[in-house]
């Protein structure tokens, strides 16, 4: 029988909570995700954004890892942020000394809590572990540090022992203790039991992982049980299935309970920065920050959204620094297509609209997304208008296998031929840079996203490159397909630039 929260009347208290703090561990636990390594400069960029988002504590790394890691922590402590900056430390005096070398404000002292960790991993006894932990806390406090004691694998520990260990830590002067569901094993009931016991002792944090898909639930249950500081990472990156995603806890607390633990409008910018720097992309359906979270494609949903923004959204996208998007595909209806066309200032009559909707649905039926460029091309075709291009790609040369890779492009820009060369991290990057240089005088456009799909398998696969570019408030998404990835990339970019300048030209003429 599932007896969720049976006999725990204190769970009602979530609606009474008025303040929750966040500890962000993107730079420590998040960086432990397979294949992720951030440079000091990259860590500094993330830390600045976290601070701007009013995150209370930033765990900047693990000082014992080595001199390289200490340099990155040092770079973060040098920023002089409002947030408390900490280092992860194992239960060793040497680790605390190394953290002090990095000038941190505090330490997250990790000591074994479960039998598995106390005896098998660390090879100590339960009593010795309590004694050792209390001594380390006193040592760190003597050196002026803020101290949080994390009982590693706490969710699998004997609760009485966990309570004894944490009580000794607080008595020795620790500022707070932390319940750690290190392997993401706990049910909400277990979380409630452990956190309630610790919160009775003193200030308690919670550290949850998503192995059972329960990280957010367990974080919220922890808060209901008395925890007032939640550990997590941006986008939920971390070892295995990851840590709890802070942006998800933040919106759940804000939307459900009116508690705002961070500046939510910073969430999307942070998510994009972390995805870019770590190379871990956001799943399109990811809560809060996924590409589709505020995108409406189905005809009925689009129609409803156009009548009332809140029709198919729990909260407005602006709340988390985003915009609503209407996408077109096989579910497209008249209202959605008309709205998309009017975003580009294209007017059509009823007959033309019906034909455009049919053709959009036909592309969607083939399982393809209908981009802005597709829609505008269809509309021009239906209206019988031949569009004059402003920017056209004449030719492209890219050389790889040289250092650095080099490319040159020749473009026709409003009848004038331009040639530019550039270098890059690879031939695609070099060619994109060359095209950008050739157009930079008049097109102040930025590349918002770049995405490649192989349509067929094999090394001769045709690839489709999708680029999204923005110029001021204008956004366009364009795709191009070719068996040559460099050529597809530059074609898509040049087409997007052409759309941005040509749309602008038409608007200027129309305004006159
Ligand atoms: Zn963890």
Query: 414-452 in b/e burial notation, b at 16+ Cβ within 10 A?
Result: eeeebebebebeebbbbbbbbbbbbbeeebebeeeebee
CATH number at residue 487: 3.30.160.270
Q: Do residue 362 and residue 406 come from a single domain? A: no
User: Ligand 1 center to residue 216 CA distance, Å?
Assistant: 14
Check pLDDT > 90 for residue 134: yes
User: Which CATH number covers residue 172?
Assistant: 3.20.20.70
Q: Answer yes or no: is 488 within a domain.
A: yes
The CA 124 to ligand 1 mean position distance, Å, reads 22
Q: What is the mean pLDDT of residues 211-225?
A: 97
Preceding peptide of 481 cis, ω within 30°: no
User: Is 173 within the bounds of a domain?
Assistant: yes
Residue 413 and residue 453 in one domain: yes
Q: What is the pLDDT of residue 447?
A: 84
Judge if 408 and 488 occupy the same domain: yes
**Rounded Cα gap, residues 152 and 95, in angstroms:** 16
Centre of ligand 1 from the C-alpha of residue 13, in Å: 26
Q: What is the pLDDT of residue 448?
A: 84
Distance 373 CA to ligand 1 centre (A): 44
- Tell me how far the alpha carbon of residue 264 lies from the centroid of ligand 1, in angstroms: 23
How many angstroms is it from 441 CA to the middle of ligand 1? 48
Looking at the fold, whether 397 and 369 belong to one and the same domain comes out as no
Torsion of CA 326, 330, 334, 336, to 10 degrees: 0
51 C-alpha to center of ligand 1: Å? Answer: 21
Say what the pLDDT of residue 202 is: 97
3-state secondary structure of 442: coil
Total domain count, the chain: 3
Calculate how far, in angstroms, residue 73's C-alpha sits from the geometric centre of ligand 1: 18
Whether residue 472 has pLDDT greater than 70: yes
Residues 249-277 have pLDDT tens digits of 999 999 999 999 999 999 999 999 999 99
Beta bridge partners of 21: 229
- The set of residues, in sequence order, having a beta carbon less than 8 Å from that of 419 and lying 6+ positions away, is 408, 409, 410, 411, 438
Give residue 374's domain range: 295-383
Judge whether 99 lies within some domain: yes
In a domain, 82, yes or no: yes
**H helices then E strands: how many in the chain?**
16, 16
**Domain assignment of residue 251, yes or no:** yes
Distance from the CA of 44 to the center of ligand 1, in angstroms? 21
Question: Could you tell me if 437 and 320 lie in one domain?
Answer: no
Same domain, 358 and 436: no
Banded model confidence at residue 505, pLDDT cuts 50, 70, 90: very low
Q: By C-alpha distance, which of 197, 122, 128 is closest to 153?
A: 122
Show the tokens assigned to 448. 């918002």
Q: Are residues 29 and 164 in the same domain?
A: yes
Give distance in angstroms: CA of 337 to centre of ligand 1: 46
Question: Cα(21) to centroid of ligand 1, in Å?
Answer: 17
Q: Separation of 244 CA from ligand 1 center, angstroms?
A: 9
Is the domain of 264 the same as that of 378?
A: no
Residue with tokens 């290190």: 182
Q: Indicate if 47 and 186 belong to the same structural domain.
A: yes
Domain end among 326, 358, 383: 383
Indicate if 374 and 432 belong to the same structural domain: no
Q: Is residue 1 part of a domain?
A: no
Give the domain-ending residue among 366, 383, 400: 383
Q: In whole numbers, what is the pLDDT of the chain averaged over residues?
A: 88
Return the higher-pLDDT residue of 11 and 193: 193
What gap in Å lies between CA 164 and CA 464, rounded to an integer? 59
Name the pLDDT band for 387 (thresholds 50, 70, 90): low
The two structure tokens encoding residue 234: 């941006």
Q: How far is the CA of 67 from the centre of ligand 1 (A)?
A: 22
Residues 267 and 349 in one domain: no
pLDDT tens digits for range 39-49 = 999 999 999 99
pLDDT of residue 127: 94
Percent of the chain residues past pLDDT 90, beyond the cut: 55
Q: Give the CB-side neighbour count of residue 70, counting CA atoms within 13 A.
A: 15
Predicted confidence at residue 300, as pLDDT, reads 76
At 236 the pLDDT is: 97
Any domain includes 283: no
For residue 377, pLDDT over 70 is answered with: yes
Q: How many angstroms does the Cα of residue 243 sit away from the middle of ligand 1?
A: 6
Per-residue pLDDT for 219 more than 50?
A: yes
Domain boundary among 383, 411, 441: 383
Is pLDDT at 131 greater than 90 in this prediction? yes
User: What confidence score (pLDDT) does residue 452 get?
Assistant: 84
Lowest average pLDDT, out of 113-127, 195-209, 217-231, goes to 113-127
Cα dihedral 310, 314, 467, 492 in deg (nearest 10): -30
| DSSP code for 233 | B
Q: What is the domain-level CATH number for residue 369?
A: 1.10.238
* 28 CA from centroid of ligand 1 (Å): 9
In a domain, 4, yes or no: no
**71 CA from centroid of ligand 1 (Å):** 22
pLDDT in tens, 322-374: 988 878 888 888 888 998 888 888 899 999 999 999 888 887 887 777 877 78
Question: What does the pLDDT read at residue 176?
Answer: 98
- Calculate how far, in angstroms, residue 486's C-alpha sits from the geometric centre of ligand 1: 40
Claim to verify: residue 236 and residue 323 sit in the same structural domain: no
CA 208 to centroid of ligand 1, rounded, Å:
7
User: Residue 13: is its pLDDT beyond 70?
Assistant: no
pLDDT digits (tens, 9 = 90+) for 417-465: 889 999 999 888 998 888 888 886 666 788 888 888 766 566 666 778 8
Q: How far apart are CA 82 and CA 512, in angstroms?
A: 50
Assess whether pLDDT exceeds 50 at residue 87.
yes
74 exposure class (CB count in 10 Å sphere: 0-12, 13-18, 19+): middle
């Amino acid at each position: 029988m599932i007896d969720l929260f049976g006999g725990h009347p204190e769970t009602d208290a979530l609606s009474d909570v008025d303040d929750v703090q966040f500890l962000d561990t993107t730079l420590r636990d998040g960086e432990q995700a397979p294949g992720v390594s951030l440079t000091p400069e990259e860590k500094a960029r993330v830390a600045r954004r976290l601070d701007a988002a009013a995150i209370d504590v930033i765990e900047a790394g693990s000082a014992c890892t080595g001199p390289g890691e200490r340099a990155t922590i040092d770079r973060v402590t040098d920023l002089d942020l409002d947030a408390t900056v900490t280092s992860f430390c194992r239960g060793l005096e040497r680790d605390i000394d190394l953290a002090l070398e990095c000038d941190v404000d505090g330490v997250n002292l990790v000591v074994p809590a479960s039998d598995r960790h106390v005896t098998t991993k660390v090879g100590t006894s339960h009593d010795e572990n309590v004694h050792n932990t209390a001594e380390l806390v006193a040592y760190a406090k003597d050196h002026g540090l803020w101290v949080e004691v994390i009982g590693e694998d706490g969710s699998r520990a004997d609760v009485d022992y966990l309570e004894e260990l944490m009580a000794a830590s607080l008595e020795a002067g620790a500022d707070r203790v932390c319940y750690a569901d290190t392997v993401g094993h706990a049910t909400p009931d277990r979380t409630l039991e452990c956190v309630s016991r610790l919160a009775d002792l003193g200030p308690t944090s919670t550290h949850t992982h998503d192995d059972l898909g329960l990280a957010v639930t367990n974080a919220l249950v922890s808060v209901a049980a008395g925890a007032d500081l939640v550990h997590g990472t941006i986008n939920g990156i971390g070892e295995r299935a990851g840590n709890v995603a802070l942006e998800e806890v933040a919106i759940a607390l804000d939307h459900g309970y009116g508690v705002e633990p961070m500046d939510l409008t910073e969430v999307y910018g942070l998510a994009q920065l972390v995805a870019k720097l770590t190379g871990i992309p956001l799943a399109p359906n990811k809560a809060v920050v996924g590409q589709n979270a505020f995108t409406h494609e189905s005809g009925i949903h689009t129609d409803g959204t156009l009548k009332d923004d809140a029709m198919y959204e729990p909260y407005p996208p602006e709340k988390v620094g985003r915009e609503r998007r209407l996408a077109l595909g096989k579910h497209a209806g008249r209202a959605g297509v008309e709205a998309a066309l009017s975003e580009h200032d294209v007017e059509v009559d009823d007959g033309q609209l019906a034909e455009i909707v049919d053709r959009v649905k036909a592309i969607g039926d083939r399982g393809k997304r209908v981009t802005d460029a597709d829609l505008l091309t269809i509309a021009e075709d239906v209206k019988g208008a031949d569009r004059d291009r402003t920017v056209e790609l004449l030719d492209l040369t890219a050389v790889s296998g040289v250092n650095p890779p080099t490319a040159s492009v020749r473009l026709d820009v409003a009848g004038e031929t331009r040639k530019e060369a550039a270098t890059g991290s690879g031939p695609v990057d070099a060619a994109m840079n060359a095209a950008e240089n050739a157009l930079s005088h008049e097109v102040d456009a930025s590349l918002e996203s770049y995405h490649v799909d192989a349509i067929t398998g094999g090394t001769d696969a045709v690839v489709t490159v999708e680029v999204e570019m923005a110029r001021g408030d204008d956004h366009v998404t364009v795709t191009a397909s070719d068996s040559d990835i460099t050529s597809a990339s530059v074609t898509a970019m040049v087409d997007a630039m052409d759309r941005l300048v040509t749309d602008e030209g038409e608007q200027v003429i129309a305004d006159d």
